[in-house]
Structure formats: C-alpha cells, structure tokens
Structure 1
Amino acid sequence: MNRTLISRRLVAPLLALSLLGAGAVAVAGTAVAGEPAPREDAAVGTPAEAAAPAVESLTAHADVTTVRAWQQFRITGKTQGVKPGYTVLLQQKRSGEWKFLPAETTVNRDGSYSLRVKLGMKGKNELRIVTGERGTAISKTIQITVR
C-alpha cells in the first residue's frame, strides 16, 4: 500500500470529525476521491468510529408466561450502552398504543436490571422495557397471559 493511500485513509475520518465540530453534516461510508467505496464487510476501527457513542440496547425476559390476576412475577434483563443508575420503565400495549405502567427500576453496575410486576388485565398482555421516558432503547415484546 503506498503512502498516499495510507494518508487518505487516516485523514478522511479526522477531516469528518473536524467538520462535525464546525456544524457540518457527515455521511458515513462515503469514499475518498480516488479510493473505492468501503465494503459492507470491511473491518471496523477507524478513529471516527472509535469516537462514536455506544448504541443503547436492552433485553427483557419474564420468569413466567402465565400468571393469575395480580400475581407477582419478575422481568429481568441486560442493557448495553446504558449507564448504571439509569432508569428503565415498563410499558404495556393497550388498544394498539404503548402505555407506561407504574413500574420502573435502575440499571446495576453490570448492566443488569430486575423488576417486579403485577398485572390485573386478564388475557394476553404485551409488555416491553424502555430506557427513559423517550424510549431510546426498546426491548423485544414479552407475552404474558393473565388468567
């Protein structure tokens, strides 16, 4: 690999970062003049990617699939990219809309959380966990049947 190609690969991400600081918009995956476009399977690790914030994600699992009305059960999960002490909240799908339930907990230092839940609405209930009021990270839906 020649010096010109190496310097272009190093300068392009740094230039993108400096433009972002000046209020410009950068598009990920753009090619530098005279270079082929990055491949989908290309290795990760450029300085621009290292500076990017971690993407928030979370998992959620219930310890049961069926409960009696108002029987307590537990939802546990792990988060990634969520700071310890941050709040995760429970939502329930009602009439096609996700509504917050009065159940929340904080994320532990290892990224885990645990939440005790009681449901009174009989039938199939769809639940999910979200981070914060805006729901920046959302778990997959959990199905709980209340008898």
Structure 2
Amino acid sequence: MPATLRHRCVRALAAGALSAALASAGSAAALAADNAPPAVPSVTHSAPAKPMTKASITAKVNHTSVKAGESVTVAGRAKDVKPGTKLVLQHMHNGKWTTLHANTTVKKGGAYKLTGKLNTKGTEHLRVATSDGKTHSPTLTVMVH
C-alpha cells in the first residue's frame, strides 16, 4: 500500500506541474500577442513628411559691462522664425523672465537688432524671446555698475 500511495502522490505532483507549465505557456502566448505591434495601414498617395525643425535664436550683446541707465544693443539671428515675428528683450527679475521696453521684428533672412536700457545696478541676465515665449536665446550676462 505505501508504494501505491507514493505513486499517487508522484502522479498528482506531476499532473500539477504539467498543468502549471501549460497554464503559464498559454498566458505567455497571450501576453506576447498583446505586445505585438499594431498593424500600420499602408499609405499609397501622400506627400513625403517634412521634418520638423526647431526654431532657435542667437544673441550677442555689444557691451558686457555698462553704467546704470546706459543702453545695450543685442543682435543676432532667428533661425526658422518667420520674418515679421516680434522679438522682445527680457531680463531675470525675482526668478522670472520679465519683458523690458525693447522689441523688434525679425527681418528677412532672420537678422534682428534691439536696444534696451539697464537701470538696476548688479548682474543682469538677459535673453531675446519671441513675443509668444516659445523660442528664446541663451542667457547673456551684463554687469551694470
């Protein structure tokens, strides 16, 4: 009798292991089917997609050190910015970019030039940005004394 009981236990364990293996194989196949890439419909008559380009603005300041009340001129190029787009001069004030009273528009070819007056003594962090704020130049530093 002990041999028969042992055989039944071995059979039960083997059947359980086989069932577990089959169940995990079935769920793995279902999981693989869920992770399959979706079918992409074919397009026969469409124009080639134009690559997206990111607009950018370069900027150089004419003086890196000025006296309080003096003006600085910032010039550069706006790449992939439509001619006629309004550009503004901004400075960092209390942790936020604030627009100064200096603006211009982008010329044909992307060139621009604007002049702004700096009244506050200390280090001024400036940038040129589109009026919508989506594109801006790297930060420029000017010492005002």
Query: Which TM-score band (shorter chain)?
Result: 0.5 to 0.7
Bigger share in helix:
2
Alignment RMSD (CA, Å): 2.2
Which one of the candidate residues 133, 136, 143 is aligned to 1:135? 133
Give TM-score, length-normalised by structure 1.
0.64
- The corresponding residue for 1:116 is 115
- The corresponding residue for 1:89 is 88
Give TM-score, length-normalised by structure 2.
0.65
Task: Tell whether the 8 Å contact from 2:101 to 2:116 is kept in structure 1 after alignment.
Answer: no
Q: 2:86, 2:52 → 1: CA distance?
A: 19
Q: 1:138, 1:72 → 2: CA distance?
A: 21
SS at the partner of 2:137?
coil
- The corresponding residue for 1:47 is 48
- Which consecutive residues of structure 2, in runs of 5 or more, have no partner in the other structure? 1-39
Deviation, 1:53, is 4.5
Q: 1:127, 1:73 → 2: CA distance?
A: 10
SS at the partner of 1:64?
coil
Bigger Rg, which one = 2
- The corresponding residue for 1:61 is 60
Q: 1:101, 1:74 → 2: CA distance?
A: 13
Alignment length, in residue pairs? 104
Letter in 2 for 1:139: S
1:98 aligns with 2:128: no
Q: 2:52, 2:101 → 1: CA distance?
A: 30
Deviation, 1:79, is 0.7
Letter in 2 for 1:136: K
> 1:50-77 CA deviation, whole Å, 9 max, x = no partner?
x245421111110110000111221001
- The corresponding residue for 1:146 is 144
- Which consecutive residues of structure 1, in runs of 5 or more, have no partner in the other structure? 1-11, 19-45
- Displacement over 6 Å in runs of 4+: none
Identity of aligned residues (%): 36
Deviation, 1:47, is 2.5
